[in-house]
């Protein structure tokens, strides 16, 4: 489903199968990097499922799909500019496809929004960042796999460095008035997400 969606998206703007293959190979290579444990194609699969469930609410599906495929394409646990670098690569590929600056502007906003998850004036951006965080509200068994994979991604850091940083991130989400900005995701995931975050903090 992931590749088919990507192919359909790119093919709207360019029918060159070699370009589709080239772009997909780049996406696949980055998201299957051996250093990644959570920010993988599985994460993209989950995002796509969530986005498809609210497709009727999305105003610009192409922009949100580009955000989906490129928001974590650059991911280095030692860097703090992953979102900016990912947005830059997305812009480069979208320019090759001659996609309008307006559409890229939406995609850029959505990719950068995953850095802070602050509520946006753009409803599509709120749906996207909520979908990106949807793992937080899954059942505890699924969530456990998620947080353990995140820990593996940050395996270069010892517990005395990682645990306080992780606790700060989780506490930040718990202190938000709402983790999920849209009513759809709030109703679906908010309560379970808070329970999961509190349980993980207790384990750190």
* Stretch 2-27: mean pLDDT: 96
Handedness of CA 161, 78, 89, 112 (dihedral sign): positive
HEC states along 113-164? HCCCCCCCCCHHHHHHHHHHCHHHHCCHHHHHHHHHHHHHHCCCCCHHHHHH
pLDDT value of residue 152: 97
Q: What is the mean pLDDT of residues 196-200?
A: 98
Round to whole Å and give the CA distance between 106 and 121.
11
Q: How far is CA 82 from CA 56, 71, 90, 99, 178, in A?
A: 30, 9, 12, 23, 25
Arithmetic mean of pLDDT, 2-21? 96
Torsion of CA 41, 85, 124, 151, to 10 degrees: 50
Amino acid 158: pLDDT: 97
Q: How far apart are CA 194 and CA 161, in angstroms?
A: 24
**175-203: average pLDDT:** 97
Please report the pLDDT score of residue 12 as a whole number.
Answer: 95
pLDDT of residue 132: 97
pTM: 0.96
Pair 23, 41: CB distance under 8 Å? no
- Arithmetic mean of pLDDT over the chain: 97
CB 54 within 8 A of CB 61: no
Residue 117 has pLDDT above 90, yes or no: no
The 10s digit of each residue's pLDDT in 60-102 is 999 999 999 999 999 999 999 999 999 999 999 999 999 999 9
**Where are the chain's structural domains?**
1-132, 136-204
Q: Would you say 71 and 53 are in contact if contact means Cβ atoms under 8 Å apart? A: no
The predicted-structure confidence for 132-157, as pLDDT tens digits, reads as follows 999 999 999 999 999 999 999 999 99
The C-alpha atoms of residue 204 and residue 186 are separated, in whole angstroms, by: 26
């Amino acid at each position: 489903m992931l590749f088919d969606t990507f192919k359909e998206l790119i093919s709207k703007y360019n029918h060159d199968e070699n370009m589709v293959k080239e772009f997909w190979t780049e996406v696949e290579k980055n998201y299957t990097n051996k250093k990644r444990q959570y920010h993988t194609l599985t994460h993209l699969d989950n995002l796509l499922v969530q986005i498809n469930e609210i497709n009727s609410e999305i105003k610009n599906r192409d922009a949100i799909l580009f955000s989906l495929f490129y928001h974590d394409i650059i991911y280095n646990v030692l860097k703090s500019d992953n979102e900016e670098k990912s947005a830059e690569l997305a812009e480069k590929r979208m320019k090759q496809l001659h996609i309008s600056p307006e559409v890229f502007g939406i995609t850029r906003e959505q990719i950068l929004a995953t850095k802070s998850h602050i509520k946006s004036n753009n409803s599509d951006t709120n749906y996207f960042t909520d979908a990106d965080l949807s793992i937080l509200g899954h059942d505890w068994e699924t969530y456990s796999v998620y947080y353990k994979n995140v820990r593996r991604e940050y395996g270069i850091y010892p517990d005395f460095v990682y645990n306080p940083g992780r606790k700060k991130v989780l506490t930040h989400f718990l202190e938000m008035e709402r983790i999920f900005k849209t009513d759809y995701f709030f109703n679906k995931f908010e309560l379970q997400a808070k329970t999961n975050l509190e349980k993980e903090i207790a384990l750190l």
